[in-house]
Structures are given as C-alpha cells and as structure tokens.
Amino acid sequence: MNDHTKGSAEEAASDCSRAPEGWPEERPTALLVLADGTVIEGKGAGAAGSAVGEVCFNTAMTGYQEILTDPSYAGQIITFTFPHIGNVGTNAEDMEAATLATNGVRGCVLRAEITAPSNWRAAQSLNDWLKARGIIAITGVDTRALTALIRAKGMPNAVIAHAPDGKFDVEALKREAAEAPSMEGLDLAKDVTAGQSYAWDETEWQWGKGYGRQESPRFHVVAVDYGLKRNILRELATAGCRLTVVPATTTAEEILERKPDGVFLSNGPGDPAATGVYAVPEIKKLVESGTPLFGICLGHQMLGLALGGTTRKMHQGHHGANHPVKDFTTGKVEITSMNHGFAVDRDSLPETVEETHVSLFDGSNCGLKVKDKPVFSVQYHPEASPGPEDSHYLFTRFVEMMEKRKG
C-alpha cells in the first residue's frame, strides 16, 4: 500500500459514521467503538446489547448467512463490503454451524438498512434472525471507509453496541474496547467445537432435491472439529466417505482406535499456536501413523506447526470469496473462499515439507504437503459455501490418497 492510499484511508475513516445521502440526521441507536477511541455511529439492528470482538472485513457478495454462521468467525465483528445485506432473508438450510452466536460471530457492520427479504427460499428476515441468535448489527456505516481503515492500520478490537433508546456510556465502551485481549494467544476452538462425537452422512445440496444421504460409503473418515463447517462434511460425504466427527481435544490414540481410512483437520477460529498447545502433539502422532491426513484453514496452520513450522498474525487477514490461489502441483489458478487471520510462515517449513499453493494477492502460503507421507493441507475453504467451487478437486485428492493406502 502506498502513502497516498494510507492517507486516503485515514481521511475516509473519519467519515465512517456519515449518514448516507438522503437519510435524516437522528440520534444513533448503535455504535462501533474502536480500541483507539474512534466512535462510529449508526442505526441498530438485530439484538440489543454490546459485544467485544476483532473487526475484519469480508468482500463476498453472496452467502451472508453462511458467513455469519461460520465458526471460524468466533470472536470477530464482520464488516460486509457489499452494501446490501439481508435482501434474500434467511433459511434453515444455509446454516454452517449448529452453535449459537454466543460462541461465534460477535456482530456485523452494514452499509444499508436491512430490507424485507425477496427470495423464494426465505423463511425469516435477517433482522429477526439476528435477534433470535443474539447477534448485534449496526447499519448506515460507510463500510468502504472502515475497510480502508483496516487495510491501513490492521484489524482493530472494538465494541459493537445497540441501544434502541440511543443511550450509551461512550467512555465505558471506549475502555472496554481498549482493554479487549488480542486475538493472538486466544484458543477459541474450545468454544465452538462439538461437545461429543457424532456421525454424519448428509451430502451436498442439489437443485430440486435439497441435501442427500450417503448410503454406500467407501471410506471412514474421522473429522476433528476445531470449528467445523457443515459443507465440508457434505463434500466429504459426497466424495464417498462415512464421517465420524470428534471434539478438538480428542487424542490421536482415540482417533486411531476408530480405524479410520483418513483423518480430517477442520477450520476454526483463534490463534493456531494457542489451540496447538493440546492439538499439535496429537497431530504429530497422526502424521507419524501414516494415515492419510487432510487439513483446512486452522487445521492447515496447526499441521504446519506439527511439521516444525511457525505461524504469524496477518495485518488484515483474508476474508472473502474471490481470492486467487495458484496450485503449484497443477500450475492452475483457482478462485477461492477464505477466512483467516493467521498464516503459515513458509520460510519456517523444513525440507521434508513442500509448499503446494500460494496466494496471488499477497504471496502468503496457502498449501503444503509432506513429501514422503499422505499428508496435505490448504489455507482456504475448498468447500466454499459461500464461494466458487474451483477447489472441490481437493476432496477427490484426499479420496485418492485413501484409495492408494487401502489398496
């Protein structure tokens, strides 16, 4: 980013609270208070109350319900760069996690007010859906200016507050935002993981049919839930897998006792080094067992740690459904869905590990594999939901590894 861009970002940030043209000036019913004391005013939506989180921005133009229910956003406040959020309402099918918002996303920041839904699949308005799940929203914010601020200064901690009567203790909110802990060092997987193991056989959604069932699986996969998305399970089931989902704290011995053909390490929120305190030693044992292993997002980062690498906090993270990634194994470029604030440091990886994917936005590591074992992972979300389906081939790659080992 050049100096001109930085200057423009800081100037634009001062106008985040400016009401859109034509809106009447009225007492704000919602505030977004940043850790540096910046107060952004707007109109409240969703649940009343306040919540603390790290502010990030997401550039996806569709799939807001899937984004808001993605456990990887636990502890974060999402700024949607697309201005019209809520137009298609919500439904029971597009949920990506079963957990409620108390363990997930902390709030969302919107440009326009939430309108009445206009879609044949809509069962409930987004505003009512947010209320029911305790998610606070602020509308009427210049989200482009807030995004520019994040690009210039990084992802800030903040308090999002909604008071229908417009009464706020601003100084108290400023203190709360300033004292909020950094995302670095936080183990959030324990807040969103499954409470117990369970089986899964639902396959991907098809037009006119809805979700199907896997009735003749060829492989048994144990999926470790660090904040698992449902569509990952659906893609694995569609690829021919019978799935057993286990909590994040499950040991390698307990996993291998189930005699899986493969093990999957899921996405999830927080600092991989913090979750890795208990997860990485178990992942090391799984790698040594020779069992085919596939990791996504947080699972990718912790696999990197288990293989001897390190991770780092990113300046603004990657959040969206339009991220170009190059696969070195095929030479192809795919457009991917991403949601992460940490990355594997490629320079820390040992010679036994090969980098397989790289981001074409900033050159950060997006994939790796072990040279002499059936072990690989990617930083992005090949299951999409929302996002493009360019990366579905990775589930086939995992199945081929299990076929080779089983045969």
Q: What is the per-residue pLDDT across 204-246, written as a single tens digit (0 to 9) for each? A: 988 888 899 999 999 999 999 999 999 999 999 999 999 999 9
- Whether 338 and 319 have beta carbons less than 8 Å apart is answered as yes
Q: How confident is the model at residue 6 (pLDDT cuts 50, 70, 90)?
A: very low
- How high is the pLDDT of residue 203? 96
- How high is the pLDDT of residue 141? 98
Query: CA 403 → CA 218, 291, 395, 406, distances in Å?
Result: 9, 12, 12, 5
> Does residue 179 register a pLDDT over 60?
yes
Tell me whether domains 3-179 and 189-406 share a fold. Answer: no
Q: What is the per-residue pLDDT across 258-317, written as a single tens digit (0 to 9) for each? A: 999 999 999 999 999 999 999 999 999 999 999 999 999 999 999 999 999 999 999 999
- How high is the pLDDT of residue 25? 64
Percent of the chain residues topping a pLDDT of 70: 93
230-238 and 393-406 helices cross at what angle (nearest 10)? 50
- In this structure, which topology does domain 3-179 adopt according to CATH? Glucose Oxidase; domain 1 (3.50.30)
- How high is the pLDDT of residue 26? 80
DSSP 190-222: HHHS-SS-EEE-EEEEETTTEEEE--S-SEEEE
Q: Give me the chain's average pLDDT, please.
A: 93
> pTM for the full model?
0.93
> Does residue 197 register a pLDDT over 90?
yes
First-to-last alpha carbon distance for the chain, in angstroms, is 51
Q: What is the per-residue pLDDT across 94-127, written as a single tens digit (0 to 9) for each? A: 999 865 545 689 999 999 999 999 999 999 999 9
- How high is the pLDDT of residue 226? 97
Q: Which residue has the higher pLDDT, 175 or 406?
A: 175
- How high is the pLDDT of residue 170? 98
Residue 344 tokens read as: 């594997």
Q: What is the per-residue pLDDT across 12-66, written as a single tens digit (0 to 9) for each? A: 555 676 555 655 568 999 999 999 999 999 999 999 999 999 999 999 999 999 9
Percent of the chain residues topping a pLDDT of 90: 89
CATH annotation of 189-406: 3.40.50.880
- Whether 101 and 133 have beta carbons less than 8 Å apart is answered as yes
Residues taking part in catalysis: 297, 381, 383
Indicate the domain borders of the chain. 3-179, 189-406
> If you ran DSSP here, which 8-state letter would residue 239 be given?
T
> Does residue 5 register a pLDDT over 80?
no
